[in-house]
Amino acid sequence: MKKVIRMRQMSDNQRGVVRKISAHGEMGRRIREMGLIPGIRIQIQGRAPLRDPVAIKLRDFTLTLRNNEADHILVEVDARGHHGRKGK
């Protein structure tokens, strides 16, 4: 079954495909110009020591976002166990 969650809720190393970006204005534009658009595959790379911001891998680079920014991004996560460790 397809499961769509907020990016903040994704666990480390989890992968998925961006389905929707609900941010507008400056934040929406910043997110998009960095190539974070619907349809793109991402993977959670890690989180800063205080669990915020989050670092994600997309296209061929690493992007960081704060948790409250990640809340605006809905991701369809890969099926369980597909990629290993923590995907739930």
Residue ranges binding another protein (CB under 8 A): 20-21, 24, 26-38, 40, 45-53, 55, 57, 59-66, 69
CB of 63 to another protein, least distance (A): 6
Q: Terminus-to-terminus CA distance in the chain, angstroms?
A: 13
Angle at 9 between CA 38 and CA 28, to 5 degrees: 40
- Cα separation, 6 vs 10, whole angstroms: 7
The 3 state secondary structure assigned to 38-50 is CCCEEEEEEECCC
CB closer to another protein, 37 vs 79: 37
CB of 11 to another protein, least distance (A): 14
CB closer to another protein, 11 vs 38: 38
CB of 25 to another protein, least distance (A): 9
